[in-house]
Amino acid sequence: MKRAYLAISYSDRSKFDLLISHLETYFHSINVELLVFVDEYNFEPNQEKEMMETAFREIDKSDFLIAELSHKSIGAGIEIGYAFSKGKQIYYLRGKGAEYSFTAAGCSDFIIEYENEFQLIEKLEKLFS
């Protein structure tokens, strides 16, 4: 089974419940495990190094990285840079009208702008078929 790492803003995570649910369902249907790092792990303020070491280890175990950047996230940017340095395929997602990240785009293999979760899944289906 392949594995995808989802990089997303920790502070804005709750705004993406429906989107992540659709992503999990879609990836499960094509035999890809989706790791939502911010859902899987919790760290205390004094565990910054452990957090990043864990994130990097999880990216290493993943086949590709998906970055949802409708809300800017320094952490997701670091995860993108790490995945890029490891030669991982990167999918940059952003909601229509969200600010464009030149640095994320510069590291990404695919840039997907979407209006809703249904359109996002349609676009992913085209890429993964």
Mean pLDDT in residue range 65-89 = 97
Once rounded to an integer, what is the mean pLDDT over residues 45-62? 97
What is the Cα gyration radius of the chain?
14
Give the pLDDT of residue 89: 98
Report how far residue 10's alpha carbon sits from residue 62's, in angstroms, rounded to the nearest whole number: 19
CATH number of the structural domain spanning residue 73:
3.40.50.450
Residue 127: how many other CB atoms lie within 10 Å: 10
pLDDT confidence band for 29 (50 / 70 / 90): very high
Token pair 């209006």: residue: 115
- pLDDT at position 36: 97
**pLDDT confidence of 21, banded at 50, 70, 90?**
very high
- Residue 6: give the domain boundaries: 2-128
Report DSSP letters for the chain, one per residue.
-EEEEEEE-STTGGGGHHHHHHHHHHHHHTTEEEEEHHHH----TT-HHHHHHHHHHHHHT-SEEEEE-SS--HHHHHHHHHHHHTT-EEEEEEETTSPP-HHHHHH-SEEEEESSHHHHHHHHHHHH-
> Is 8 in contact with 73 (CB distance < 8 Å)?
yes
Q: Do 84 and 110 meet the contact criterion of CB atoms below 8 Å apart?
A: no
**pLDDT value at position 94?**
97
User: Averaged over 59-76, what is the pLDDT?
Assistant: 96
Mean pLDDT, rounded, for 95-113 = 97
Report pLDDT for 66.
98
Overall domain count for the chain? 1
The tokens of 104 are what? Answer: 């994320």
